[in-house]
Amino acid sequence: MRDERDFIAALMNSVPGVLYLYDETGQFLRWNRNFERVTGYTEDEIKTMHPTDFFVGTDQDLVCDKIAGVFEQGASNVEAGFRSKDGRLTPYAVLFHRHPSRG
- The per-residue pLDDT for 28 is 93
d(CA 33, CA 42) in angstroms, rounded, equals 10
Model confidence over 82-97: pLDDT tens digits? 999 999 999 999 888 8
This model's pTM is above 0.75:
yes
CATH of region 2-102: 3.30.450.20
At residue 72, the pLDDT reads 81
Cα(16)–Cα(102) distance, integer angstroms? 26
What's the pLDDT at 96? Answer: 85
3-class secondary structure for 51-79? HHHHCCHHHHHHHHHHHHHHHHHCEEEEE
Q: Is a pLDDT exceeding 80 seen at residue 1?
A: no
**Burial (0-12, 13-18, 19+ Cβ within 10 Å), 89:** middle
Domain edges within the chain? 2-102
